[in-house]
Amino acid sequence: MSEMSAAYDLARFVIDFFSVVKHGDFDWQKQRLEEISELKRLKHIHRANLEHELNLLQIGLDEELKRKQEEEYRITNDYKDFLDSIDEMKVKMLETFSDMPKPMVYVIHHHAKHLIDEIWKTHDERSQALSRARFAEFLTAVYHDTSNALVQENSNCLPAETLKFVKGPAA
C-alpha cells in the first residue's frame, strides 16, 4: 500500500502545485484574457472592413458589367441601324438606276456590308479609323452617283464612281 500511498502523495503534490501556480498567476491570466478579447475585437473589425471592401468591389463590378452590357447593346443597335440604312441604299439604287442589272446593285450592297463589318470586327483603333474612312469615301461615291443620276433624270447611266470604288485600285 505504500506504493499507492506514494503515487497518491505525488498526484496530490502535482494538483496542489498547479493550484498554487494557477491562483498565483491570476493577474497574468486576466491580462491574457483581456489581450485575447482585444484580438477578437480587432479581428471582428478587420472582418467587417474586409466585408465592406468586398461589397464595394462587387458593386463596382456589377455596375461595370451593366455599363458594358449597355455599351454592347448600343453597339449592336448602331450596327443594325447601319445595315438597315444599307438596305435602304440598295432600294434607292434600284429605283434610281432602274436599267442597271440587279446583280450590280447587290454587289454594291454587299461591298457596303463588307465595309461595315470591317468597322465592327476590327479592334485596332488605327485599322478601325481606316475602315471608317473607306466607308465614308464609299458612301460619298454612292451619294454623288445617285445625286448626278437624279439631276440628269437619266436612269440609263451607271453609278461609275461607286463601281470604281467597289472594283478597287487597278492591278
Count of other CB atoms within 10 angstroms of residue 35:
10
pLDDT (tens digit per residue) in 104-132: 999 999 999 999 999 888 889 999 899 99
pLDDT (tens digit per residue) in 135-146: 999 999 999 988
Query: Quick check: 135 and 108 in contact, CB under 8 A?
Result: no
Q: How confident is the model at residue 21 (pLDDT cuts 50, 70, 90)?
A: low
Average pLDDT for 12-17: 74
Q: Which domain holds residue 102?
A: 2-167
Predicted model pTM: 0.63
CA pair distance 132, 66, nearest whole angstrom:
28
Count of other CB atoms within 10 angstroms of residue 104:
16
Q: Is the pLDDT of residue 22 over 90?
A: no
> What cell was used for 90?
440598295
pLDDT (tens digit per residue) in 33-73: 888 899 899 999 999 999 999 999 999 999 999 999 999 99
The domain total for the chain is 1
Question: What's residue 90's pLDDT?
Answer: 93
Query: Quick check: 109 and 159 in contact, CB under 8 A?
Result: no
Q: How confident is the model at residue 4 (pLDDT cuts 50, 70, 90)?
A: low
Average pLDDT for 23-40: 78
Of the chain, the percentage scoring pLDDT greater than 70 comes to 88
Radius of gyration of the chain (CA): 42
Greatest mean pLDDT range, 10-14, 27-31, 59-63: 59-63
* 95 vs 20, more confident: 95
CA pair distance 93, 101, nearest whole angstrom:
11
> What cell was used for 92?
434607292
State which H helix or E strand residue 143 sits in. Answer: helix 125-152
